[in-house]
Amino acid sequence: MTDKQRDILKNRIAVFFAWVAALAFFFPIFWMVLTGFKTENQAIAIPPLLFFEPTLENYTEIQSRMNYTHFAMNSIITSFGGTLLALLIAIPSAYSMAFNTGRWTKDILMWMLSTKMLPAVGVLMPIYLICQKFGLLDSRIALVVIYAMMNLPIVMLILFNYFREIPKEILEASRMDGTSTLNEIRQVVMPLAWGGIASTALLSIILCWNEAFWSIVLTTTEASTLTAFVASFQAPEGLFWAKVSAVSTLACAPIVVFGWLAQKQLVQGLTFGAVK
């Protein structure tokens, strides 16, 4: 065997194992989606069924019997609300930090990131009691505020990095024309930064959507998001596998798609900008 043949063989083996890994990691998701199309009896059949006549009854039933829309709405309101609030606070700040970088800018950003490292459970009691005091237990407002503050540091950092990539000359040109700061943001910066803002929003939505500590601890039914709703299926053992799978599939599908779209921002956001 020549060196070249050996290289090709090695490459084939690597590709083979890459596929083995890909199939293994994806299998639980595949199995979940599949189970969502089984009847409850098929779902717990021994041995598990790979081939069966698919049914849509779970998807119709989770709507009529479990009010799926209520929890999905809560997830949408809290993650979009939290993201919007974080963006509203972060855009002006990140903008001014990027274009008027001062002596303290880096320290301020680093301090912001350090707040992200505070473990949620460390402040569980104060947050819980504050919410209780203001009647905000099981309320979407509390989750929106918490999610916004939780993601603010990451949103700040990514936006800061985006704004910095905008060439300063463009701004100077518009300033020469006597544009006000507000118009400068609206007419010059926003169109250029739009893609960055959109993908930052996407990342923030993903993080809010999958958040499972505060939603479980602070909500019971009214404001429960999908993560908390799914968690409520833990108790009755072996029941409703097919319906849980259908709920899970619906709950995860949009976020998996978002995740694929936001891969790059995800790397930057989750590593706090350390890997780009």
Partner 1 sequence: MNATLTRWLQAPSIILLFIWMIVPLSLTVYFSTIRYNLLYPERTGFIGLDNYRFFWTDPAFMPALLNTLVLVGSVLFITVILGLTIAVLIDRPFRGRSIARVMLISPFFIMPTVSALVWKNMLMDPNNGLFAALANALGGTPIEWLQDFPLLSIIIMVSWQWTPFAILIFMTSLQSQDQEQKEAATLDGAGFWAQFRNLTLPHLARPIAIVILIQMIFHLAIFAEIFVTTSGGPGVQSTNLTYLIYIQSQQAFDVGVASAGGVFAIILANIVAIFLIRAIGKTLTV
Nearest CB to partner 1, comparing residues 97 and 140 = 97
Q: Which residues contact 196 (CB under 8 A, 6 or more apart)?
A: 158, 159, 162, 163
Q: For partner 1, which residue of 32, 73, 84, 192 counts as binding (CB under 8 A)?
A: 32
CB of 37 to partner 1, least distance (A): 13
CB of 266 to partner 1, least distance (A): 7
Q: For partner 1, which residue of 136, 143, 202, 230 counts as binding (CB under 8 A)?
A: 230
Stretch that binds partner 1, among 52-60, 133-141, 188-196, 248-256 (CB under 8 A): 248-256
**Burial code of 65-81, b = ≥16 C-beta within 10 A, e = fewer?**
ebebeebbebbbbbbbb
Per CB under 8 A, which of residues 39..98 are in contact with partner 1? Answer: 43-48, 89-90, 92-97
Question: Is residue 134 at the binding interface for partner 1, with CB under 8 A as the rule?
Answer: no
> CA–CA separation, 270 vs 44, rounded Å?
38
CB of 102 to partner 1, least distance (A): 8
- Strand runs (DSSP E) across the chain, as ranges? none
Stretch that binds partner 1, among 54-62, 63-71, 136-144, 230-238 (CB under 8 A): 230-238
Nearest CB to partner 1, comparing residues 55 and 93 = 93
Quick note: the x/- pattern for partner 1 over 173-192, rule CB under 8 A, is --------x-----------
> CA–CA separation, 263 vs 268, rounded Å?
9
> CA–CA separation, 20 vs 102, rounded Å?
51
Q: For partner 1, which residue of 8, 14, 56, 170 counts as binding (CB under 8 A)?
A: 14
Could you give the angle at which helices 241-261 and 3-35 cross, rounded to 10 degrees?
130
> CA–CA separation, 247 vs 252, rounded Å?
9
DSSP string for 145-156: HHHHHHHHHHHH
Per CB under 8 A, which of residues 137..166 are in contact with partner 1? Answer: 149, 152-153, 156-157
How many residues bind partner 1, per CB under 8 A? 101
